[in-house]
Structures are given as C-alpha cells and as structure tokens.
Amino acid sequence: MARSTPHVSALTDGEPLYLRIASRLLGELRDGTVPPGERLPGERQLAEHFGVSRETVRQALEVLRREGLVATDRRGSHATLPGLPVETPASLTFPVGARGADRGAIARTTLAWEPPPAGHAEPLGLAPDRPTLVHRYWSASTDGREVRTAVSSFSAVALSEVEELARYRDRADGRSAAELRRAYDWMRRAGLTLHHRDTITRIADAPSVRVMRRVHDQYDRPLELTELIVDAQQDALVYEFTLPAAV
C-alpha cells in the first residue's frame, strides 16, 4: 500500500515523476529502510536506486524537506521522522570476533590492497582477480591458547561510499598495522543501513568453527565479508543483542 503525506497523496501515473519518487522514498523512510536520524544515500545513489535523474531526486527531496520529513546539513540529507534511531550494538565490532581491549588479548592486524581470498569475490560482486581492501586479524589470549584469525574483504560499493575506508587504499601495504574497529560506524555515517548475516559451520577434521559474516546495505548491495576461524575447544563466541522496547 502506498504511503502518503498531506501533499504527497493519491499519486497516479499522471502526477509529476518527482512526486512519485518522493512518495516512494517516504515509504522507505517509514518502513525503516532508512532509520530516523540516519543519513540518506547521496543523490547519485538515489537516482540509480529509483532509476531517475539526479534532478528528479533533488525535486523529490525538496518536497520532503518542505514537509519536515528530511533535513539537510553540511553532511547531507537525513531522515527526521519520529522514532528511535538505530544504535550500533557494542557486539558489532569489526571484524566479527574481535576481542575488546579489556580481555588482555594479544592482537595483530594488517591491511593489503590485493585480490580477495577464494570465496570472497563473488559474494562481493568482484571479479576474481580484481584487487580490493583486505584486512587480516589475528588474536590470542595471554596464555596463547584462544586463537582467532579473521580475513575481511570490502566491496567496491563500500570503498566508493565510505570515505574513511577509501583513504586506506594507498596505505594498504600488507605490513603496517591498521585499526578498522570503527568500520561499521563509518558505514552508518555514510548513510548505509547495515544488515548482518552470520553463518557458523564446523570445519571438518578440525576442532574449529568458521563464522562467515556478510554485510549488505538497505539496497541489498554487498559491503563486506569476513571469515573468522575460532578454536572451538579452547574458545567461545558470545553474541549479545539489545532490542529497544516497543513504544
């Protein structure tokens, strides 16, 4: 069912295109595709998403601005519908399985610009030999028993829309340490709503489990894939979720 405002209502094919786009965008704001307070994708991304020109997107945004449903500042446009903004749960650190500083663990990270590992390219929409940002994480408990390793690859979408990630390209030499713990915060600040899917499987003939995390945005575009290996005999992963009360 189409959603409407007092001035964007009962739209038909005879209505101006920008009003129809305003109505569709309003629907996505209301169904939570873009949570309250989150930045909207840029004009170019919205134009591609709706299959219209950037000028049409500008006109549609202006309609929503006049209604007080979208606000614009120096960082771009963001949703102003009432509701609880989506918080980033503390458990969604990057990469998946990364230990907090208070665990007393030893950790190393590196960042390289290289073709992604086997199995990463296709889910991320990359050609097998196309280089991208590849992050490697290694961690062990102080006694050296609880070992975790993770390899993360980023899509072309993530690198083109998240400025903080793009800056690492020229510094990704595969040797220097890189701190990307706030990667998910950077994605959200770029106007991306993050959807995580974690798949946990046993590794044959080994006392370990593999966690595959795939992250995509509100338009189902892949952003990041992480493969984490955990020694299941010595270590345990804890998933913690916080759900706001319904109001």
The per-residue pLDDT for range 1-55, each reduced to its tens digit, is: 233 333 444 445 567 898 888 888 887 777 656 666 667 778 888 888 889 999 9
Please provide residue 157's backbone torsions phi and psi, each rounded to the nearest 5 degrees: -60, -45
What local confidence, expressed as pLDDT, does residue 34 receive? 64
Taking the complete model, does pTM exceed 0.75, yes or no? no
Q: What is the per-residue pLDDT for 240?
A: 56
Q: What does residue 111 show for φ and ψ, rounded to 5 degrees?
A: -135, 130
pLDDT given at position 33: 62
* pLDDT (mean) for 124-143: 89
pLDDT at 142: 73
Q: What DSSP string runs through 102-151?
A: GG--EEEEEEEEEPPPTTTTTTTT--TT--EEEEEEEEE-TTS-SEEEEE
Write out pLDDT tens, residues 109-120.
899 999 999 899
The two three-digit tokens of residue 37, written as one number:
């307070």
What pLDDT sits at residue 31? 60
In the chain, list all ranges with CATH 3.40.1410.10: 101-231
Q: Return the percentage of the chain with pLDDT > 90, whole number.
A: 23
- What pLDDT, in 10s, does the model give residues 45-64? 888 888 999 999 989 888 88
Region of residue 20 (phi > 0: left; psi between -120 and 50: alpha; otherwise: beta): alpha
Please provide the size of the chain in residues: 247
Q: Which amino acid is at 74?
A: R
* pLDDT tens figures, 179-217: 788 888 888 888 888 898 889 898 888 778 888 999 999
183 versus 235: which is more confidently predicted?
183
Give pLDDT, residue 91.
41
Per-residue pLDDT averaged across 160-179, rounded? 82
Angle between helices 54-66 and 17-30 (to 10 degrees): 60
Give CATH 1.10.10.10 domain extents, the chain: 17-79
> What is the pLDDT at residue 102?
45
CATH class of 101-231: alpha beta
User: What architecture is the 17-79 domain classified under in CATH?
Assistant: Orthogonal Bundle (1.10)
The CA-to-CA distance between both ends of the chain, in Å, stands at: 23
